[in-house]
């Protein structure tokens, strides 16, 4: 078999030859990658020279090149363009990779060499980045069990293998449940309140699914969100809300209750074996927050500052609903609908007013122009780079000097093989190899509103901010300029990784930025200044409720991971109990957040969901630096690029941030921006 992974790609910028890679190529390449990686480890072990930074730490950093190449392609596509065949293969590959990782991390001879170098660190002449690599390498061995006895090491191996299997199962269950549901409407009267474009999109979905004379709504957010926001049919909204909230919580073949409990228990058991009180204690040791107590204190402080605002906002919404003949007993499936009406009444603005100004292609041009004005970057679309799906677009990215900075993949629309949500990922990380700066291949994957037969893809304002958010992550990856791939780009402390993404959202509220791209898709008219002012005026609409929701999710995450979960019998009862302070409306019995909380049970956010709010504090403070001197000020942008975007995890984030800002972040910056400060 001619396997593309076993030869040079011979593609532009050495991009993956997706047009040649087939599912059957992955497993043989993974197995060869494992073989090569372990052989490379043996070379380090058998080196008779005294262990030093170069022959041990730097050489170990280079181990597993083929493995990294193959697994990156496989797992990225398993999220963005999966199939039953890919999912079955993932179940076979994941345990192999778990064993491979443990064969390295639990290798006594290798660890002894790493430990020798680590113990001489005070006498070594190293750069700050080299110090970071040495520390993270040593800690990764210890945190993966290198100091355990043989029996404990075997327990860790077994746990890691089972965890990898369960995380895949969890993710597959959520995807299967999302794909299985359809709200089929055959009576046009049931479309009352829905915008024309949403109705047209539902008609297209129906045709794609072989449903004639019908409209189909799904659990993909571009379908689900507008229906919940605009539909006048309260009964159908209740149905759709419960379908969305009950994903993998139906006691059927795709139920995640036992799956997530097993994941939580295994994480706890692993942490205890390694000498920690809980999984959260284990995770937060390598975070800016440092400990569960600090996270809970942070969330409690946010709650104290936002709860009264949230209660007032909910009371206002209930009163408004009654005033226009709505229900007196507001339910969760009513909130978005009446909030949108209230927002329109208070600010004379809604998504349908703004959509015509946010044609996807224009927003993409806008975010590119923003990156150019800030950092001198340029994006050239390429039609010769192989794609993993026809909807993907690729770009060559150049820096201000005209040199190659990165390859950028953009994948914007929902489809059956793509998981929900939006994310940034890398196919190849930036690193230095033999003096050559290997540039990264970065991707953003989203689920935006699709074009219809009569309209292009017109985004909601929330989708615009999502695109800017994910592009902020992409900039962090693209601008990376580190020596070592393992601490390059977005490989930073998890509660710092959201800074580059969240700060870029701020530009969406600035006239100077919106004027670059917000133009009516028919007339070409620039978005009126009064609309921009309405966006700004309404930006803190119900910010208290939004903050409470995020606090609730972060609290739920910490609750699962900061204690022994073995005694938790009911997922639903546990959720209700731990989020009681943030639940301002009655819980819906048929729904469960945990069962489709992919961020923490199949993503990388376990004990880290708080990081969104944590990073908001930092990004609010950081953006104030831009506001002080101008949102496209070159001095501030250069400093952000040099000290944040290009540095990756080369130094502790608090050091990098102080280099940019000259001080620590002011925690009140977030409260000021969100309007959560009581006036005297």
Using one digit for the tens of pLDDT, what is the confidence trace for 231-270?
999 999 999 999 999 999 999 999 999 999 999 999 999 9
Considering the domain architecture, whether residues 30 and 133 belong to the same structural domain is answered as: yes
Q: In which domain, by residue range, is 50 found?
A: 4-147
Considering the domain architecture, whether residues 74 and 204 belong to the same structural domain is answered as: no
The answer to whether residues 584 and 314 touch, using CB atoms and an 8 Å cutoff, is yes
Q: Which of 104, 89, 102 is nearest to 28 (CA)?
A: 89
Number of domains observed in the structure of the chain: 2
Is residue 679 predicted with pLDDT exceeding 50? no
Q: At what angle do helices 292-323 and 332-347 cross, to 10 degrees?
A: 70
Considering the domain architecture, whether residues 198 and 142 belong to the same structural domain is answered as: no
Q: Which helix (H) or strand (E) holds 345?
A: helix 332-347
* Residue 69 exposed, middle or buried by CB count within 10 Å (0-12, 13-18, 19+): middle
Considering the domain architecture, whether residues 123 and 189 belong to the same structural domain is answered as: no
Considering the domain architecture, whether residues 109 and 17 belong to the same structural domain is answered as: yes
Structure-token pair, residue 516: 């670059």
Check residue 608 and give left, alpha or beta (phi > 0: left; psi -120 to 50: alpha): alpha
Can you give the pTM of this predicted structure?
0.93
The answer to whether residues 55 and 44 touch, using CB atoms and an 8 Å cutoff, is yes
Look at residue 638 and tell me if it is in a domain.
Answer: no
Q: Which helix (H) or strand (E) holds 598?
A: helix 598-601
Q: What is the pLDDT of residues 624-650, one digit of tens each?
A: 999 999 999 999 999 999 999 999 999
In b/e form, how buried is each residue of 363-388, taking b as 16+ CB within 10 angstroms? bbebbbbbbebbbbbbbeeeeebbbb
Cα–Cα distance measured from residue 102 to residue 140, given in angstroms and rounded to the nearest whole number: 11
φ, ψ of residue 404 in degrees (nearest 5): -60, 125
Q: What is the pLDDT of residue 678?
A: 56
Q: At what angle do helices 332-347 and 221-230 cross, to 10 degrees?
A: 70
Q: What is the pLDDT of residues 362-387, one digit of tens each?
A: 999 999 999 999 999 999 999 999 99
Q: At what angle do helices 23-46 and 108-119 cross, to 10 degrees?
A: 60
Cα–Cα distance measured from residue 103 to residue 246, given in angstroms and rounded to the nearest whole number: 39
Considering the domain architecture, whether residues 8 and 141 belong to the same structural domain is answered as: yes
Q: Which CATH number characterizes residue 100's domain?
A: 1.20.1050.40
Read off the pLDDT of each residue in 33-57 and give the average, rounded to a whole number: 98
Structure-token pair, residue 280: 């959260």
Look at residue 199 and tell me if it is in a domain.
Answer: yes
Look at residue 89 and tell me if it is in a domain.
Answer: yes
Look at residue 266 and tell me if it is in a domain.
Answer: no
Look at residue 449 and tell me if it is in a domain.
Answer: no
The mean of the pLDDT values for the chain is 96
Alpha carbon distances (Å) from 393 to 263, 423, 459: 36, 16, 18
Look at residue 654 and tell me if it is in a domain.
Answer: no
Cα–Cα distance measured from residue 111 to residue 97, given in angstroms and rounded to the nearest whole number: 19
Read off the pLDDT of each residue in 17-26 and give the average, rounded to a whole number: 98
The answer to whether residues 592 and 598 touch, using CB atoms and an 8 Å cutoff, is no
Cα–Cα distance measured from residue 491 to residue 552, given in angstroms and rounded to the nearest whole number: 27
CA angle, 596 then 539 then 410, to 5°: 55
Q: What is the pLDDT of residue 677?
A: 64
Q: What is the pLDDT of residues 461-513, one digit of tens each?
A: 999 999 999 999 999 999 999 999 999 999 999 899 999 999 999 999 999 99
Number of CB atoms found within 10 A of residue 624's CB = 16
Query: Could you give the dihedral angle defined by the CA atoms of residues 106, 110, 111 and 113, in that order, rounded to the nearest 10 degrees?
Result: 180
Cα–Cα distance measured from residue 275 to residue 623, given in angstroms and rounded to the nearest whole number: 40
Query: Looking at 124, 147, 170, which one is the last position of a domain?
Result: 147
Read off the pLDDT of each residue in 132-137 and give the average, rounded to a whole number: 98
433: CB partners within 8 A, 6+ apart: 62
Number of CB atoms found within 10 A of residue 40's CB = 18
The three-state secondary structure class of 184 is strand
66: CB partners within 8 A, 6+ apart: 5, 29, 32, 33, 36, 37
Considering the domain architecture, whether residues 142 and 201 belong to the same structural domain is answered as: no
Q: What is the pLDDT of residue 674?
A: 81
Q: Using 50, 70 and 90 to split pLDDT, how confident is the model at 680?
A: very low
Q: Which helix (H) or strand (E) holds 441?
A: strand 441-445
Look at residue 95 and tell me if it is in a domain.
Answer: yes
Considering the domain architecture, whether residues 131 and 238 belong to the same structural domain is answered as: no
E strands, 312-430, are 378-382, 393-398, 404-411, 423-428
Alpha carbon distances (Å) from 564 to 1, 177, 505, 528, 595: 49, 29, 37, 55, 19
Considering the domain architecture, whether residues 49 and 120 belong to the same structural domain is answered as: yes
Considering the domain architecture, whether residues 138 and 230 belong to the same structural domain is answered as: no
Look at residue 198 and tell me if it is in a domain.
Answer: yes
E strands, 165-309, are 183-185, 215-217
Cα–Cα distance measured from residue 197 to residue 186, given in angstroms and rounded to the nearest whole number: 17
Q: What is the pLDDT of residues 272-303, one digit of tens each?
A: 999 999 999 999 999 999 999 999 999 999 99
CA angle, 600 then 601 then 603, to 5°: 65
Considering the domain architecture, whether residues 131 and 186 belong to the same structural domain is answered as: no
Is residue 328 predicted with pLDDT exceeding 90? no
The three-state secondary structure class of 35 is helix
Query: Could you give the dihedral angle defined by the CA atoms of residues 544, 548, 549 and 551, in that order, rounded to the nearest 10 degrees?
Result: 140
The three-state secondary structure class of 51 is coil
Alpha carbon distances (Å) from 480 to 113, 475, 645: 29, 8, 6
Cα–Cα distance measured from residue 352 to residue 126, given in angstroms and rounded to the nearest whole number: 56
Q: Which residues are catalytic?
A: 470
Alpha carbon distances (Å) from 488 to 258, 496, 529: 36, 14, 40
Q: Using 50, 70 and 90 to split pLDDT, how confident is the model at 676?
A: confident
Cα–Cα distance measured from residue 237 to residue 232, given in angstroms and rounded to the nearest whole number: 8
Q: Which helix (H) or strand (E) holds 476?
A: helix 461-478
Q: Give me the percent of the chain exceeding a pLDDT of 70.
A: 99
The answer to whether residues 61 and 486 touch, using CB atoms and an 8 Å cutoff, is yes
Q: What is the pLDDT of residue 560?
A: 98
Read off the pLDDT of each residue in 319-335 and give the average, rounded to a whole number: 96
Cα–Cα distance measured from residue 17 to residue 9, given in angstroms and rounded to the nearest whole number: 6
Considering the domain architecture, whether residues 140 and 214 belong to the same structural domain is answered as: no
The three-state secondary structure class of 650 is coil
């Amino acid at each position: 078999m001619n396997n593309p992974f076993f030869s040079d790609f011979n593609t532009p910028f050495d991009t993956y030859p997706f047009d040649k890679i087939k599912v059957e190529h992955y497993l043989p390449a993974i197995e060869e990658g494992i073989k090569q990686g372990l052989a490379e480890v043996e070379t380090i072990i058998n080196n008779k020279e005294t262990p030093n930074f170069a022959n041990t730490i730097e050489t170990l950093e280079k181990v597993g090149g083929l493995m990294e190449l193959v697994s990156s392609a496989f797992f990225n596509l398993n999220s963005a363009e999966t199939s039953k065949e890919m999912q079955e293969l993932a179940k076979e590959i994941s345990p192999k990779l778990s064993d491979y990782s443990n064969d390295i991390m639990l290798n006594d001879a290798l660890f002894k060499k790493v430990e020798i170098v680590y113990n001489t660190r005070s006498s070594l002449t190293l750069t700050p980045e080299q110090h970071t690599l040495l520390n993270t390498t040593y800690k990764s061995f210890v945190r993966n069990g290198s100091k355990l006895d043989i029996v404990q090491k075997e327990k860790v191996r077994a746990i890691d293998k089972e965890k990898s299997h369960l995380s895949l199962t969890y993710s597959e269950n959520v995807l299967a449940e999302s794909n299985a549901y359809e709200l089929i409407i055959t009576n046009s009267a049931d479309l009352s309140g829905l915008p024309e474009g949403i109705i047209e999109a539902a008609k297209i979905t129906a045709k794609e699914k072989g449903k004639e004379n019908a409209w189909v709504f799904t659990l993909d957010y571009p379908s689900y969100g507008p229906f919940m926001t605009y539909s006048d049919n309260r009964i159908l909204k209740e149905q759709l809300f419960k379908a969305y909230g009950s994903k993998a919580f139906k006691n059927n073949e795709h139920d995640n209750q036992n799956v997530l409990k097993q994941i939580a228990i295994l994480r706890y058991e692993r942490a205890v074996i390694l000498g920690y009180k809980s999984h959260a204690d284990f995770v937060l040791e390598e975070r800016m927050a440092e400990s569960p107590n600090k996270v809970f204190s942070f969330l409690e402080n946010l709650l104290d500052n936002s709860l009264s605002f949230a209660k007032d906002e909910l009371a206002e919404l209930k009163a408004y609903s009654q005033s226009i003949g709505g229900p007196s007993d507001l339910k969760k499936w009513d909130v978005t609908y009446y909030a949108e009406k209230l927002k329109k009444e208070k600010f004379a603005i809604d998504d349908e007013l703004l959509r015509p100004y946010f044609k996807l292609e224009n927003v993409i041009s806008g975010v590119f122009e923003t990156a150019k004005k800030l950092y001198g970057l340029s994006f050239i679309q390429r039609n010769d780079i192989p794609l993993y799906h026809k909807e993907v677009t690729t770009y060559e990215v150049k820096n201000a000097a005209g040199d190659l900075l990165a390859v950028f993949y953009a994948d914007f629309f929902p489809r059956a093989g793509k998981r929900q949500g939006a994310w940034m990922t890398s196919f190849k990380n930036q690193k230095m190899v033999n003096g050559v700066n290997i540039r990264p291949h970065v991707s953003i994957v989203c689920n935006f509103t699709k074009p219809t037969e009569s309209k292009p893809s017109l985004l909601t304002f929330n989708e615009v901010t999502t695109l800017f958010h994910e592009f902020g992550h992409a900039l962090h990856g693209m601008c990376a300029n580190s020596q070592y791939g393992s601490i390059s780009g977005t490989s930073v402390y998890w509660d710092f990784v959201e800074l580059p993404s969240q700060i870029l959202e701020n530009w969406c509220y600035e006239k100077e930025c919106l004027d670059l791209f917000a133009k009516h898709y028919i007339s070409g008219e620039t978005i009126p200044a009064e609309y921009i002012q309405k966006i700004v005026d309404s930006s803190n609409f119900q910010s208290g409720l939004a903050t409470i929701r995020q606090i609730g999710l972060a609290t739920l995450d910490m609750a699962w991971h900061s204690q022994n979960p073995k005694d938790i019998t009911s997922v639903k009862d546990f959720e209700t109990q731990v989020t009681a302070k943030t639940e301002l409306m009655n819980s819906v019995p048929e729904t469960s957040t945990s069962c489709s909380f992919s961020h923490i049970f199949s993503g990388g956010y376990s004990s880290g969901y708080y990081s969104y709010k944590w990073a908001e504090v930092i990004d609010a403070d950081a953006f104030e630096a831009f506001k002080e001197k101008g949102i496209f000020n070159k001095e501030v942008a250069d400093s952000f690029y040099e000290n944040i975007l290009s540095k990756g995890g080369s130094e502790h984030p608090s050091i990098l941030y102080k280099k940019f800002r000259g001080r620590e972040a002011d925690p009140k910056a977030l409260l000021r921006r969100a309007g959560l400060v009581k006036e005297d």
